[in-house]
């Protein structure tokens, strides 16, 4: 069975993570969760409550998700695709050298990669977005541009092997393209 890798850490966003996690399984892929360690991670819900006075994202506890494997044990050759979710986790896990090794592999081998929200911090840190157009939340625009990418405020942006969305609100826009990319790789 073809596998899709889902790197997470504590404070990965629930909707950014779980919708794609289950969606790839619907097409027969094995979703493999990776973390800094093989353990249980705490997901969070991020939103700006409708009609509220908040102008920043509010964070609430969400579900939990167990990592099947630690970053250091991931052999990227075994995976057909990579999905990078958002939340606060990317801010921390982007410093993991094993995760950077894995992410670079997907770009070096032109394998499908999807990123949503703060997942852009991971690919920016991996130095794989130079000249690529990508969507993310506006507060990550600086990360994208300082690392040579082109920030686009759209629900779905495809640039080579990379498809991106701004937030989980864009799941229905960018996930169909990610699924087309995976299915194209599988069907060769």
pLDDT 10s per residue in the chain (188 long)? 799 999 999 999 999 999 999 999 999 999 999 999 999 999 999 887 788 777 778 788 899 999 999 999 999 999 999 999 999 999 999 999 999 999 999 999 999 999 999 999 999 999 999 999 999 999 999 999 999 999 999 999 999 999 999 999 999 999 999 999 999 999 98
Q: Which of 46, 64, 118, 147 is catalytic?
A: 118
Verify whether residue 117 is a known catalytic residue: yes
- Of 154, 162, 62, residue with least CA distance to 103: 162
- Of 164, 118, 120, 110, residue with least CA distance to 144: 120
3-state SS, 123-173, equals HHHCCCCCCCEEECCHHHHHHHHHCCCEEECCCCEEECCEEEECCHHHHHH
Domain ranges across the chain? 3-187
Architecture of the 3-187 domain:
3-Layer(aba) Sandwich (3.40)
Question: What's the pLDDT score for residue 50?
Answer: 80
Question: What's the pLDDT score for residue 56?
Answer: 76
Verify whether residue 147 is a known catalytic residue: no
Question: What's the pLDDT score for residue 66?
Answer: 98
Place of tokens 């229905």: 172
For residues 156 and 142, give the distance between their C-alpha atoms in angstroms, rounded to a whole number. Answer: 19
Q: Which of 117, 140, 147, 169 is catalytic?
A: 117
Question: What's the pLDDT score for residue 1?
Answer: 74
- The interaxial angle of helices 171-187 and 14-26, nearest 10 deg, is 40
For residues 133 and 122, give the distance between their C-alpha atoms in angstroms, rounded to a whole number. Answer: 15
């Amino acid at each position: 069975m073809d596998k899709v890798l889902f790197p997470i850490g504590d404070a990965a966003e629930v909707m950014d993570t779980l919708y794609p996690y289950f969606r790839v399984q619907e097409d027969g892929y094995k979703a493999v969760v990776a973390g800094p360690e093989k353990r249980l991670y705490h997901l969070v819900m991020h939103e700006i409550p409708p009609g509220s006075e908040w102008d920043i994202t509010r964070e609430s506890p969400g579900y939990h998700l167990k990592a099947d494997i630690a970053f250091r044990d991931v052999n990227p050759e075994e995976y057909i695709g990579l999905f990078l979710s958002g939340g606060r986790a990317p801010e921390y896990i982007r410093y993991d050298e094993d995760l950077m090794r894995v992410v670079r592999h997907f770009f070096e081998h032109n394998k499908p990669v999807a990123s949503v929200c703060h997942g852009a911090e991971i690919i920016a840190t991996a130095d794989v977005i130079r000249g690529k157009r990508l969507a993310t939340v506006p507060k990550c625009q600086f990360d994208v541009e300082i690392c040579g990418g082109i920030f686009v405020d759209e629900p779905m942006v495809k640039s080579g092997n990379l498809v991106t969305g701004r937030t989980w609100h864009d799941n229905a826009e960018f996930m169909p393209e990610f699924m087309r990319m995976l299915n194209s790789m599988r069907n060769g």
